[in-house]
A = this chain, B = another copy of it.
Amino acid sequence: VINAGKSQHNEDQACCEVVFVERRPSPGARLPSREAALNSLSHLLPHGLTSPSFLSLQGRKGFYFHYWALFDGHAGSGAAVMASKKLHLHICEQLRDLVDILQDPSPPPICLPHDMRACPTEQSQVPLTEDDGEVPNNAVPRFHLEKAVSHESLVIGAIENAFKLMDDQIERERASQRLPGGCCALAAIYLMGKFYVANAGDSRAIIIRNGEIIPMSREFTPETERQRLQFLAFLRPELLGKEFTHLEFPRRIQPKELGKKMLYRDQNMNGWAYKKIQEDDLKFPLIYGEGKKARVMATIGVTRGLGDHDLKVFSSNIHIKPFLSCFPEVRVYDLTQYEHCPDDVLVLGTDGLWDVTNDKEVAGVVMEVLTSYEPNDPCRYTMVAQELVVRSRGVLKERGWRLANDKLGSGDDISVFVIPL
């Protein structure tokens, strides 16, 4: 991590842990409170541990996951610091219900008995997925089909809900814990032979395998999520106050242009068309600007992440949060499906990296640095990460920080994980 001086405190935060997911005690026993579980560090293990997926730790049944995450804060570091300390514990909590199910190779049960922990063995005695003779008194036609749900999709659901609960916790504690601002979140979870890469924001993850680049995330910005935001604003115009229009225009319209025809896009369109400018079109567009300068309601340049519960449009009472999503997109990479060599890596980086160094350049640095170390040197991956950060920052010259190509270096915080596959 480098703080390039944009803010006094580093707004990028990171976390790297091995987490033990302990099966919940049986239903009869008294459960520890959720708060206590979240604040306990007892299920964290020292780094570098190579563990079998399932084991009994001092008699406790469960499994491990490995976890790396980057949090790129904005308008303060509070949300990023909180998320870096807690997100993996929320993921752990969500997975605790699934310990027995994920260990069982048969398909996950669709329905679990009343007030019972997810446990396929106990559950399999109850034929819940079949009709048991009763014909319910129900006029709606019944479909005798059942959707197959994979173990993988349960892990994805657990991660998605963990992001939501993390966001809820930031909302609850933002006043008492002084957590201003928000953060993008990018997390990689290695569990049972698969990487789950969850992204909410404009950080990015790529895998470099045998020199090939495999994208493991996409960025969520006003441009990439334009249609979702316009659709919401179209259905809930009250969220725009009286200041904004859900239509997109290629530039601001001046009042004297009323009655002329101007290019526009609405939420259903990918192309552009002309419309006659009306009074309502003089409002500021919900989405405005291009590339890195695109903003939601002239305020924020990312559309997913954690926090931002108090964020409002400048000098107004219009809240931004309804347009932001705390849910990540989760992509899965099955390590068992491919052969990997010591030079194959997963790279996580905040936008401070990607703004000045593209995927191909990153792959080039990875290859260049790794080949200069012995394949079994444990430092080699750290050296790649360091080199990526340093190169993206550049060198201080008379005319500011400059990259090798003399372009301006990244003035943003820059954080990188390089994870051997």
Which residues of A approach B to under 8 Å, CB–CB?
A: 94, 97, 108, 110-116, 118, 128-129, 134, 136, 138, 140-143, 145-149, 152-161, 164, 228, 231-232, 235-236, 243, 250-257, 259-263, 265, 268-274, 284, 288-290, 293, 298, 325, 327, 329-330
Q: What residue of chain B has the Cβ atom nearest to residue A273's Cβ? A: B157
Given contacts A111-B262, A113-B260, A330-B270, contact A250 B146 (CB under 8 A): yes
Give the residues in chain B near A147, CB-CB below 8 Å.
250-251, 290
Rounded to whole angstroms, the CA-CA distance of A269 and B328 in the bound complex is: 9
Give the residues in chain B near A268, CB-CB below 8 Å.
160, 164, 325, 327
A79 to B: closest C-beta gap in Å: 19
Give the residues in chain B near A112, CB-CB below 8 Å.
260-262, 274
CB–CB B156/A271 < 8 A: yes
With A118-B274, A231-B232 already in contact, 5 other A-B pairs whose C-beta atoms are closer than 8 Å: A118-B261, A142-B252, A148-B250, A158-B271, A235-B236
Rounded to whole angstroms, the CA-CA distance of A270 and B328 in the bound complex is: 10
CB–CB B111/A261 < 8 A: yes
Rounded to whole angstroms, the CA-CA distance of A228 and B268 in the bound complex is: 12
Interface of A is mostly: loop
CB–CB A273/B145 < 8 A: no
CB–CB B235/A271 < 8 A: no
Give the residues in chain B near A259, CB-CB below 8 Å.
114-115
Rounded to whole angstroms, the CA-CA distance of A159 and B273 in the bound complex is: 10
Give the residues in chain B near A138, CB-CB below 8 Å.
255
Give the residues in chain B near A111, CB-CB below 8 Å.
253, 257, 260-263
A325 to B: closest C-beta gap in Å: 7
Q: What residue of chain B has the Cβ atom nearest to residue A235's Cβ? A: B235
Give the residues in chain B near A97, CB-CB below 8 Å.
274
Rounded to whole angstroms, the CA-CA distance of A164 and B268 in the bound complex is: 10
A299 to B: closest C-beta gap in Å: 11
Given contacts A157-B269, A261-B112, contact A145 B274 (CB under 8 A): no
Rounded to whole angstroms, the CA-CA distance of A311 and B146 in the bound complex is: 27
Interface-central residue, A110, A129, A138, A164, by most chain B CB under 10 Å: A110
CB–CB A289/B143 < 8 A: yes
Give the residues in chain B near A108, CB-CB below 8 Å.
263
7 pairs, CB–CB < 8 Å, chain A vs chain B: A111-B261, A114-B260, A134-B254, A136-B256, A153-B270, A161-B269, A161-B273
Interface-central residue, A236, A253, A268, A290, by most chain B CB under 10 Å: A268
Given contacts A263-B110, A298-B141, contact A136 B254 (CB under 8 A): yes
Give the residues in chain B near A325, CB-CB below 8 Å.
268
